[in-house]
Amino acid sequence: MRSWHLSWKHLWAEDSLAAFRDRIAQHLCVFSAVLLLPFTINHLLMGRHMLGTIILLAQGVLFVNGYSLRHGRATPVPMWIMVLAFCSAVVASVLGQGLDTVVWAFPALFIGYFLLPRRQAQLVSLLLVVAVPVAVFSVAGTASAVRALAALVLTLAMINVVLSVIGELQVALVQQAITDPLTGAWNRRHFDELLVQMQAPPVPGTNGASRPPNVLLALDIDHFKAVNDRHGHAVGDAVLKALVQLVNQRKREGDQLFRTGGEEFVLLLPRIRLDDARRVAEELRQLVENTELAPGLRVTVSIGLSPQVPGQVASPWLAAADGALYEAKRSGRNRVVMAPVAA
């Protein structure tokens, strides 16, 4: 089982709220604007017109930002300015109104992480952790400043630990969603999503030459049903796992292996010359043929190879690889067949 290791690098770099930040910011802006209304009314009634006006303007900005986010627009006032203004107001409150207002420093820490990317929130929170105790020291002395510093540091640490655990959980969930649980290869869902993004535009290289194409190798274990029928599904599963390990040992670092069916796999070879792709396919075929994937059991694979034509979308590219694989099956199995290359 994977251990929950939280390094300082993780605490600094992860941003588990990134995908939800606009929605959080939208609700937080509107809620904060409403929450500030009693303070605005109180200050205006008590004759503190300047302070009441400042808070009223802040409410207006919050409403406008929330409305912009609601309609998918950029906020007129950047969120980092809003957060810095709130933190500055907290420090000013401590200096002007005394120790009781320190409590506002704690929601300020949380709000920074809700509204800003994690790295920006770290910087703002560190500034707040330094500025608030300094302000407390100036109005209440050393003992109160030390207590404020300890409470803020503990709160900051817990925020980062919780966000890092959430980030780890998100990674684990994504891995489960796109990984084949038996073999550890990427699954068909991840393969389909990746292919959608892989339309290949014609990219001219040096002296007008095209860059090497992406290549698909469609692999299928020959007579795999007979393996299951004769030796049982446990042995069949062991063969599948051993095949994936074998391919992982041979493939390049950037190559990706997908399990697309029961005994069917696709190996994606990005930016590789056709001669090199053919050599990889042939080496894999021979490697499988000469290796016992289960005690006393050897199998063979048929491989269909298809380069991606510049500008070609995923469907015909995959269909060409499948067609080459079927041809390898029809012509005797345990061989590599390359799809015809369009002119």
- Same domain, residue pair 174 and 192: no
> Which contacts of 78-83 are long-range, i.e. CB under 8 A and separated by 24 or more positions?
79/25, 79/115, 79/116, 80/116, 80/120, 80/124, 82/115, 83/108, 83/111, 83/112, 83/115, 83/116, 83/121, 83/124
Q: 3 in a domain, yes or no?
A: no
- CATH number of residue 294's parent domain: 3.30.70.270
pLDDT tens-place string over residues 209-231: 467 889 999 999 999 999 999 99
Most distant pair of Cα atoms in the chain: their distance: 94
- Domain match, 255 and 196 both: yes
| 68 pLDDT above the threshold of 70 | yes
What is the rounded average pLDDT for all residues in the chain? Answer: 86
Indicate if 164 and 222 belong to the same structural domain: no
Note whether 78 and 211 are same-domain residues.
no
Instruction: Please list, residue by residue across 68-105, b when 16 or more beta carbons sit within 10 angstroms of its beta carbon and e when fewer do.
Output: bbeeeeebeeebbebbbebbebbbebbeeeeeebbebb
Q: Is residue 343 part of a domain?
A: no
Give the pLDDT score at 210. 62
Is the pLDDT score of 9 beyond 50? Answer: no
Name the range with the highest mean pLDDT among 57-66, 72-81, 165-174, 236-245.
236-245
What confidence score (pLDDT) does residue 250 get? 87
pLDDT at position 58: 83
Residue with tokens 């300890």: 150
pLDDT at 13: 43
- Dihedral Cα 219, 222, 226, 227, nearest 10 deg: -60
Percent over 70 (pLDDT), the chain? 92
Cα distance between residue 269 and residue 252, in whole Å? 8
Span 59-66, mean pLDDT?
86
Among 178, 212, 229, the domain-final residue is: 178
Q: Is residue 1 domain-resident?
A: no
Same domain, 194 and 327: yes
Tokens representing residue 341 in the block: 């290359």
154 in any annotated domain: yes
Tell me, yes or no, whether 55 and 166 share the same domain: yes
Q: Give backbone dihedrals phi and psi of 337, rounded to 5 degrees, phi first.
A: -125, 135
Domain membership of residue 183 (yes or no) is no
Indicate if 263 belongs to the active site. yes
In a domain, 55, yes or no: yes
Residue 19 has pLDDT above 60, yes or no: yes
Q: Which of 178, 197, 216 is the last residue of a domain?
A: 178
Sequence length of the chain is 343
The answer to whether residues 208 and 148 belong to one domain is no
Tell me the percentage of the chain whose pLDDT exceeds 90.
50
The reply to whether 332 and 211 lie within a common domain is: yes
When divided into structural domains, the chain yields a total of 2
Q: What is the mean pLDDT of residues 56-70?
A: 86
pLDDT in tens, 96-117: 888 888 999 999 999 888 888 8
CB 130 within 8 A of CB 81: no
Residues 105 and 236 in one domain: no
Q: Of 304, 316, 314, nearest to 193 (Cα)?
A: 314
- What is the C-alpha separation between 140 and 248, in angstroms, rounded? 64
In a domain, 128, yes or no: yes
CA distances from 192 to 19, 60, 189, 200 (A): 22, 46, 5, 15
Same domain, 134 and 199: no
Q: What is the pLDDT of residues 115-170, one digit of tens each?
A: 888 888 999 999 999 999 999 999 999 999 999 999 999 999 999 998 888 888 88
| Helix, strand and coil percent figures for the chain, each rounded to 5 | 65, 10, 25
Q: What pLDDT score does 30 carry?
A: 85
Q: Are 29 and 69 in contact (CB under 8 A)?
A: yes
Q: Please give the single-letter amino acid code of residue 74.
A: A
- The top-scoring range by mean pLDDT among 43-57, 77-91, 132-146, 170-184 is 132-146
Supply the pTM of this predicted model.
0.62
> Can you name the residues that pair with 215 across neighbouring β-strands?
269, 307
93 and 174 belong to one structural domain: yes
Q: Same structural domain for residues 100 and 244?
A: no
Among the listed residues 125, 92, 127, 123, the one whose alpha carbon sits nearest the alpha carbon of residue 108 = 125
pLDDT at 16 over 80: no
User: Looking at 178, 200, 231, which one is the last position of a domain?
Assistant: 178
Q: Give the range of the structural domain holding residue 73, as residue numbers without chain letter.
A: 8-178
Q: Among 263, 264, 283, 327, which one carries the catalytic annotation?
A: 263
Residue 229 in any domain: the answer is yes
